[in-house]
Structure 1
Amino acid sequence: MQPFVIAIAGPSGSGKSLFAETLCAELRRDAPQLDVVLIKEDAYYRDQSHVALEDREKVNYDHPEAIEQDLLASHLRSLSAGQPVESPMYDYTVHNRRQETVGIEPAPVIIVEGILLLTHRALREACHIKFYMDTPLDICLLRRMARDVKERGRSLDSVTDQYQESVRPMYHEFIKPSVRHADMVITRGGRNRVALDIVRNMLLSVFQSEEKT
């Protein structure tokens, strides 16, 4: 069965991860025979082993150049061709890739989520359908603050400084304009029950049709 690749993009804190994880869980619940793989664009932040920690902290992680998008696009093409890949792993506490990788096997449904997916042509072309999470920026900021302080060991001052210096400018320069490449815009974040039902039912319908042919 030809893999179906879904992109879920949008600003940091928009609800992408929650939407993607909920969609995965519900597809596995409703179609146990249907393998689903979730890939996070964040794992593809560039290796910075050659850069001192204090300099890594100054990198603009919301710029497309911070992510190895060509590698991610190559991995999506390989998975679509039925070939396994070794995905990098990223450690936010040291702003660098881990030495180990994680093996990803091809699956009928591949969901990839990240802030900059729709800014890269090869990534867009590797996906069959593209969603954009359209959440107000002030809500995204509050969510990002809570996440980075609690889960990533950041100080509130560092999160605020990063937001002002790079997150907000990069949102307006790259992320927000990429909405024009989306096939569907989803509002109200990752708990949008109607949107989740529509996407889940669409995918179930597609693969039920495939199984009958």
Structure 2
Amino acid sequence: MAYGNYAYLFVDFPFGYKHKSIKAIIDKVIYVKTPLDICFARRLLRDFKDETSSSIKSMTEHYLNFGRSIFIDYENFVIQEVDLIVDGTLAINTNIEIIKNNLL
């Protein structure tokens, strides 16, 4: 099935096949598995570059006390029904090639 001028349509959307209202129109679910320490560091660099140390400390405490377990539960829930898992520590171009090779 083609989508307009494109053979593929990629959507960054949580839950994949677990989301019942769109499950029927999903052809493939690709999960980018990235260690939580890398996710955390990327978020710090992206969202907290201009924040105070107090703000960063507060967010870190919230993540350790509350958020981390939610991310772990989410991954365990979603990863049960995926078609492909790619390594989030690899270069983007490497993952693009892996995805292209698995879509053909």
**TM-score, normalised to structure 1's length?**
0.39
Q: Which residue of 2 aligns with 1:122?
A: 21
SS in 1 for 2:40: helix
Gap runs ≥5 in structure 2: none
Q: Specify which of 57, 73, 95 is matched with residue 195 of structure 1.
A: 95
- Alignment check: 8 A CA contact 1:131 1:186 kept: yes
Q: CA RMSD in A?
A: 3.0
Residue in structure 2 matched with residue 168 of structure 1 by the alignment = 68
SS of equivalent residue, structure 1 residue 132: strand
Which amino acid in the other structure matches residue 128 of structure 1? D
2:49 is matched with which residue: 150, 156, 159?
Answer: 150
Q: Deviations over 1:61-119 (max 9, x none)?
A: xxxxxxxxxxxxxxxxxxxxxxxxxxxxxxxxxxxxxxxxxxxxxxx5321114x3334
Distance 1:179 1:148 in 2: 26
Whole-Å separation in 1 of the counterparts to 2:64 and 2:95: 31
Letter in structure 2 aligned against 1:117: F
Matched residue pairs, number? Answer: 101
The reply to whether residue 184 of structure 1 matches residue 84 of structure 2 is yes
Q: Report the counterpart of residue 61 of structure 1 in structure 2.
A: none
Q: Report the alpha carbon displacement of residue 199 of structure 1 after superposing the two structures with TM.
A: 2.2
Aligned to 2:33: 134
Q: Residues 163 and 174 (structure 1 numbering): CA distance in 2 closer, same or farther, change over 3 Å?
A: same
- More strand, by proportion: 1
1:133–1:186: 8 Å Cα contact kept in structure 2?
Answer: yes
Query: Which residue identity does 1:171 align to in structure 2?
Result: F
The alignment's TM-score, normalised by the length of structure 2, stands at 0.69
Amino acid at match of 1:132: Y
Q: Deviations over 1:145-200 (max 9, x none)?
A: 2122138x683124213312432121122233311111011014362544311323
- Paired residue secondary structure (2:78): helix
In 1: Cα distance, 2:26 partner to 2:49 partner: 32
CA–CA distance in structure 1, aligned partners of residues 22 and 68 of structure 2: 23
Q: Which has the higher contact order (CA 8 A, sep 6+)?
A: 2
